[in-house]
A and B are shown apart, each in its own frame.
Chain A
């Protein structure tokens, strides 16, 4: 259907990929060679390639325990995110008295910088008795406003006729969401799953303040071990960053298919 030539697109995308990949290549290169990046001239090909920095990272911190904590917190956050955001998104597609107030509240809540809320958030979590627990760690991330708006846009795009037909058949509200709205907005769900996972997985400041016992720490907190003053841990630091990155990337690769199917084919099946 598209008559325009392909190669300018490929050229532009290759250049963009190059710009995106170069810093990333350096992280990966230093994670296998551990050389001093301030050596001059910068070496393009890594010398002395050895995968043992990854082994160091595994033993330098209780990696399995931190990984389990991060995974548990992220799973709680993702599931809660999808459910709460879908419900809120669906509610926002309907007009009701307080709707504009709620919209403005959501928008203004996005504006609150997290660094300024550390102490009150800790006090509140302490009051809820959730200190040092997976739920306490996941609670602030259990709903994100951007994903509510993504669900709202996706639900708005569902043709009115489908919803009215279902309502005439007497389907209750939540069944309408589950059987009609959700299958049509797989793109929104995929986006929410990926973003919620990455945000809770890479979250550093909240677990830092919140956890006291060593076996409740999440993966990013292991970072302090590789920024130590005493010995040179360059290779291990970058290997650690790659290992923290891997799950988020894997989830993105898995969930990519949902983007393409998205609404385009969904709408016709109905």
Chain B
């Protein structure tokens, strides 16, 4: 019993350390906003913050922006120190972990009180932020994967039109692989590669989410084909080891037939690839129209001292006007139906290719995959992805790799149940 009291004492000490008094005494009308690597929209945010301050006199807005891998480190430290930012822009499935631990404010009551707010958004994207029936985020800007293809390389390998099935995808990739040219590339962070398996009818978990369901013959067969294509050069190895700069850089160099990525890749690749124009680059859906979303949403931290003010800030930032500005400035989907419709019409006149790319982001949003609301999503990825790499890079037989992955995933699911 004595040891337990020591532990409690030590931790109480840590907690006392956690709440620096002078931070708590700031003015109550202060709203701090943490965004995810979007410092390039400084001008736009200044204008929108000014509008919000005009509408809510006496409010101070502190804007923080952190790069992707650094945001969780900063945000967690602030939670422990008891001074979390009121509003935080979260990407991918990181929010589920915070929500499951009670770190985010449930927005459902707010939405029920003002139903017109929910009606602004594309319901499929908005549905991506529901955990156990409660909505925790509003869409800030969204994207989902599509298939870019190099039309010149298509013509050289006399391929008429984009692949309609997994086997065609593999066949076209191998056909285009010659010398240092390769056929296919995919991004692989946050389950972006999952449509490749979904189109083969593979499910990650059982419907009740208690057991791994991916160790099936279709999975082993698909992995075998991917491994063989990677060995023959049909699939560029960067697909499995690169993250953002290399796959986009490689595709921009014009030596890769197809790139499976989301709309943001277009602007990065266009900057680095002078060869890109309407005649040389095509944008279409993956076979089976499956795609993985990689969305950004606004959440309110539980530790926020004025959640209602934060809620009105969320409404302001996702309003038709603000979303329209963001679409025009950053050329990205906002899941705000009005803003996206107007933005698409405008951009299709000025930059038809960008318009075509962004148009794909609004189609087949009923076929989103790879976005399961799992509180232990990061752990699952860390257990599953290395085994996929082992299989496709030929280090393990697909069957063995999937058996090991199943064991690791089941151990996590048992511990979390």
Are B77's CB and A209's CB within 8 A?
Answer: yes
**Residues in chain B within 8 A of chain A (CB atoms):** 14, 17-18, 20, 22-23, 32, 37-40, 62-67, 70, 73-74, 76-77, 80-81, 180, 244, 246, 249-250, 252-253, 255, 264, 267-268, 270-273, 330, 332
C-alpha spacing A230/B326, complex, angstroms: 13
A241 adjacent to chain B (CB < 8 Å): no
The answer to whether B40 and A231 touch across the interface, beta carbons within 8 angstroms, is yes
B77 touches A36 (CB 8 A): no
> What B residues does A119 contact at CB under 8 A?
76-77, 80
Asked whether B40 lies within 8 Å of A118 as measured between CB atoms, the reply is no
- Determine whether the beta carbon of B252 is less than 8 Å from that of A126: no
- Chain B nearest CB from A122 CB (Å) reads 5
What residues on A are CB-neighbors of B67 within 8 Å? 223-224, 227
Q: How far, in angstroms, from A118 to B250 measured CA to CA in the complex?
A: 36
Q: Which residue of A lies closest to B265 (CB)?
A: A229
**B255 near A40: Cβ-Cβ < 8 Å:** yes
| Complex: A118 Cα to B272 Cα, angstroms | 37
Interface residues of A in 73-121 (CB under 8 A from B): 118-120
Q: Is the CB of B253 within 8 A of A224?
A: no
Selected from A208, A212, A225, A230, the residue in CB contact (under 8 A) with B268 is A230
Query: Could you list 22 A-B pairs, sorted by A, with CB under 8 Å?
Result: A36-B249, A36-B272, A36-B273, A119-B76, A122-B77, A123-B80, A126-B20, A129-B20, A129-B22, A214-B63, A224-B37, A224-B39, A224-B67, A228-B38, A229-B244, A229-B264, A230-B264, A230-B332, A231-B268, A232-B267, A232-B271, A232-B272
The CA-CA distance from A223 to B18 in the complex, in Å, is 29
Q: Is the interface of B mostly helix, strand, loop or mixed?
A: helix
- Does A269 sit at the interface, judged by CB under 8 A? no
Q: How far is the CA of A213 from the CA of B85 in the complex (A)?
A: 12
Chain A neighbourhood of B252, CB < 8 A = 36, 38
Cβ of B136 to closest chain A Cβ, rounded Å: 23
A38 CA to B268 CA in the complex, in Å? Answer: 14
Report A115-169 residues with CB < 8 Å from chain B CB. Answer: 118-120, 122-124, 126-127, 129, 131
Of B39, B180, B255, most buried by chain A (CB within 10 Å of CB) is B39
Please name all residues of chain A whose beta carbon is closer than 8 Å to the beta carbon of B273 when the two chains form the complex: 36
Q: Does B250 lie within 8 Å of A127, measured CB to CB?
A: no
A234 is an interface residue with CB less than 8 A from chain B: yes
**Contact call A37/B81, Cβ cutoff below 8 A:** no
Q: Which residues of A contact B (CB under 8 A)?
A: 36-40, 118-120, 122-124, 126-127, 129, 131, 205, 208-209, 212-214, 223-225, 227-232, 234
Output the least CB separation between B142 and chain A (Å). 13
Cβ of A198 to closest chain B Cβ, rounded Å = 21
Smallest beta-carbon distance B193→chain A, Å: 18
With A36-B252, A126-B18, A229-B244 known, 6 other A-B pairs at CB within 8 A are A38-B252, A38-B253, A123-B81, A205-B73, A214-B64, A228-B39
CB nearest to B91 among chain A residues: A229
Flag if B81 contacts A126 (CB, 8 Å): yes
CB of B39 within 8 A of CB of A225, answer yes
Closest residue to A232 on the B side, CB-wise?
A: B271
Partner of A209, one of B17, B38, B73: B73
B273 nearest CB across to chain A (Å):
7
List residues of chain A with CB within 8 A of the CB of B180: 40
Asked if B70 and A224 make an inter-chain contact with CB atoms under 8 angstroms apart, the answer reads yes
Chain A residues closer than 8 Å to B253, beta-carbon distance: 36, 38-40
A37 touches B249 (CB 8 A): yes
- Residues on B with beta carbons closer than 8 Å to the beta carbon of A234: 272
Question: With a CB–CB cut-off of 8 A, which chain B residues contact A224?
Answer: 37, 39, 65-67, 70
Closest to A127 in B: B17
Q: Smallest Cβ distance from B92 to chain A, in angstroms?
A: 13
Asked whether A208 and B73 contact (CB < 8 A) given A122-B81, A229-B268, A232-B271, the answer is yes
Known contacts A123-B81, A231-B40; is A209 also within 8 Å of B272 by CB? no
Whether the Cβ atoms of A209 and B268 lie closer than 8 Å is no
Q: Closest CB of chain A to B276's CB: distance in Å?
A: 11
Contacts of B39 in A (CB 8 A): 224-225, 228
> Contacts A38-B249, A123-B14, A208-B66; is A230 near B330 (CB within 8 Å)?
yes
Closest 6 CB pairs of A and B: A232-B271, A224-B67, A126-B20, A38-B249, A36-B272, A123-B17
Contacts of A40 in B (CB 8 A): 180, 253, 255
Closest CB of chain B to A137's CB: distance in Å? 15
Q: Known contacts A224-B65, A230-B267; is A126 also within 8 Å of B74 by CB?
A: no
Q: How far is the CA of A131 from the CA of B255 in the complex (A)?
A: 49
Q: Which residues of A contact B37 (CB under 8 A)?
A: 224, 227-229
On whether the beta carbons of B268 and A127 are closer than 8 Å, the reply is no
**In the complex where A224-B70, A229-B37 touch, is A123 in contact with B18 (Cβ < 8 A)?**
yes
Do the beta carbons of A230 and B40 come within 8 Å of each other?
A: yes
Closest chain-A Cβ to B241's Cβ sits at a distance in Å of: 14
Report B-chain residues with C-beta under 8 Å of the C-beta of A118.
Answer: 73, 77
Residues of B within 8 A of A231 (CB): 40, 267-268, 271
Q: For the complex formed, measure the closest distance between the CB of B259 and the CB atoms of chain A, giving whole angstroms.
A: 13
Query: Which A-chain residue is minimally distant from B39 (CB atoms)?
Result: A225
Q: How far is the CB of B164 from chain A (nearest CB, A)?
A: 30
| Chain A residues, Cβ within 8 Å of B76 | 119
For A225, list chain B residues within 8 Å (CB): 39-40
Cross-chain contact of A127 among B20, B64, B65, B271 (Cβ < 8 A): B20
A224 to B43, CA, bound (A): 17
* Chain A nearest CB, measured from B203 CB (Å): 30
